[in-house]
Structure 1
């Protein structure tokens, strides 16, 4: 593992810096708007705009990289993201923030695509699992580091946007000075929505619900913590602890996923999420902030341990029922589905928090859990299209859209082909299968 870290340290450093800036920006915007007494709907709209930009960037990024090359595209998007962050610090109009937030998401998706294509180009087949795990760890560590900046510097003045812009600027350095050969040209992976909706409906439902929950968490958990009386540095501790739970749970989750039925694990996770989120949905505001943090942090940590399992389980479950030559397209479909949920979730939750109070964040989580309990039924998995190697080995997966469809090329579940070959193999449209894999009774 040390050898892999040494070989890819520049790209991992770029990832850490990208996610440090992204994580800090999300929390900063929520706290800044809360300080200015802006309602939760605007806070949710900011996060929705970011995920909208990520989804759009998945399409636009391919064209930009094909036209100007990887390094130029990465640096250009990094400059746009840095300028947009500084624009948020300078401009007082919320409507302009929405546009800038969308541009930030669009530019960051292009940067993810460049980093992942380079990792894929340089990783040997036997290293893909370790390289993919290193990329996921770098993503989560960056998100946690962004929250901890608030512990050191809790004031919301002009310094924070400058620190965020500094993180994005530092992410440009290792890619801009690389002497590596450019990766192969990129082709967009086809989505094939009709095929996947028919083949893996329960997985797509889980991914959509995961997007609803996680998009709401990143956008509105800082506002929830503020409304509970926590100071800015305490909000940073709360968010950092919760995000760290997402990293911590990945390896025990992989052990469980490889040994037990994945549909049953998803349904049990939904039941557990309902039980652990319900106390926070009815949590009263306590008069002592230190006591609130002491109680809120472990409870939020447990909720995140469970909610961050949904996307990786859904990815593994869907890979059990999709052939290897379609898994790049599957990843694209899963990320778009996640992005749709992450756009809708913050808007709905923000509106509920505006009308009924901050506790609606976790009431919304409970409602999403009920949807999964209702829709995910292990007994309805027919097994008709179950692949020969199923259960496919579980791989820890970042689920905050800190990746692009190209991340599938690093995934050891995908056959050892180049990205271009996989995408060419998927260009022909596929007809919907006769049997519905996850919905027809066995």
Structure 2
């Protein structure tokens, strides 16, 4: 096992550096703009356009890699990300910053595609799950260290941006010097949204809410913490605690998710999330230690919605369609991550900082009301259900990583071969009076 993982050490290290810079800059933007009394709408917009770039850039990234190869595409887009970060240190204009964050997301997704293509193609079925797990560990660790690295900068001037730019440059070195053979260009799976909306509507709702909550927390969580009179170091630790707790909890929660009813587990998760947000609504003056405890609880509950929802969806989709399913899940999650910061930014501007968690409570309540075990009849249950829970972090991945999922057999998957228009028309024709089937996941 160790030899298989060690052989990808250069790609893991590149992922760590890539996420380190990203984790730092997202929190830095929230705190620095809050200090400057900038509207929460701008903070939410900067995070939203970054996630929008990640979602929209996947197809562009595939075409770029097909044209010039993996290393050239990775190098070019790393340069774009570095420039986008460093120009923010030179130009003090929020409209320019919005464009730069969109370009950073658009370019960065090509870097993820390049790394994940290597991991996917040069991994056999016996080690696929372990390689994916270590990739997720390094992704999460990079995000956590990025939050904590903000504590190195007592003053939020241009230096955190320079540090993020340095990380963006350093992540070139492991990829440029890797001895791995170049993989073939991956083929993106078609997005058959209507087919999966018919088959797994509840799972897609869980994933959408997970994206909304994650994007909102990354964008406005630092603003909330800053308005609780925390220092910039304490704000960084507040966010890092949530991310770290979400990462560590995925393995024990995965063990539980493989042994209980998943619809019921999602409902309990959402109910606990509702309860843990109540003290954060703004009606209590909480000490710092209490904020950290609640942050860890938030991380455990909100950052695990996506992998539980994905496992629930895989239970109700045929094995040969799971690559396409993963592409749809990531698209829906990314849409939620774009939508969440924009909505919460508007609400926080009009009301107060605690509305971030009032909004989270409303999202959790909607899941409690919508996801019910009695609505799952097993009509579309896959023959290998329940499928194994697979730890996943957030949308710092691409549909390429779907083929690394141990629940997927790339050799038999037909997601790339079907006609998306034909499937969507079939889904519409087979729908019963527009109602969501009760047996869907």
Normalised by the size of structure 2, how large is the TM-score?
0.95
8 Å contact kept, 1:326–1:426 = no
Which of these residues, 412, 418, 425, is aligned with residue 417 of structure 2?
Answer: 425
| Per-residue deviation, residues 268-311 of structure 1 (Å, max 9, x unmatched) | 1111100111111134346xxxxx32121111111211111210
8 Å contact kept, 1:189–1:329 = yes
8 Å contact kept, 1:109–1:403 = yes
8 Å contact kept, 1:325–1:425 = no
8 Å contact kept, 2:14–2:175 = yes
Whole-angstrom distance in 2 between the partners of 1:379 and 1:28: 44
Aligned twin of 1:351: 346
The correspondence of residues 33-432 of structure 1 with structure 2, limited to 5 A, is: 33-285=33-285, 292-399=287-394, 401-417=395-411, 422-427=414-419, 429-430=422-423, 431-432=426-427
Change (3 A) 1:166 1:2: same
Aligned twin of 1:289: none
DSSP 3-state at the match of 2:208: helix
Deviation at 1:226, TM superposition (A): 0.3
| Per-residue deviation, residues 385-411 of structure 1 (Å, max 9, x unmatched) | 211110011111122x11100111111
Deviation at 1:438, TM superposition (A): 7.4
Whole-angstrom distance in 1 between the partners of 2:277 and 2:154: 27
Whole-angstrom distance in 2 between the partners of 1:214 and 1:142: 17
Deviation at 1:205, TM superposition (A): 0.4
Q: Judge which range, 148-157 or 407-416, deviates more.
A: 148-157
8 Å contact kept, 2:263–2:371 = yes
Whole-angstrom distance in 2 between the partners of 1:85 and 1:285: 36
Deviation at 1:427, TM superposition (A): 4.5
| Per-residue deviation, residues 199-253 of structure 1 (Å, max 9, x unmatched) | 0000000011111100000111111100000001111111111110111110111
Aligned twin of 1:439: 437
Whole-angstrom distance in 2 between the partners of 1:256 and 1:100: 41
Aligned twin of 1:8: 8
Unaligned runs of 5+ in 1: 287-291
| Per-residue deviation, residues 163-188 of structure 1 (Å, max 9, x unmatched) | 00011111111112223222112222
Q: Judge which range, 429-438 or 368-377, deviates more.
A: 429-438
Whole-angstrom distance in 1 between the partners of 2:128 and 2:360: 34
Whole-angstrom distance in 1 between the partners of 2:436 and 2:8: 38
In the alignment of these two chains, the number of paired residues is 434
Deviation at 1:158, TM superposition (A): 1.7
Whole-angstrom distance in 1 between the partners of 2:145 and 2:330: 24
8 Å contact kept, 2:186–2:400 = no
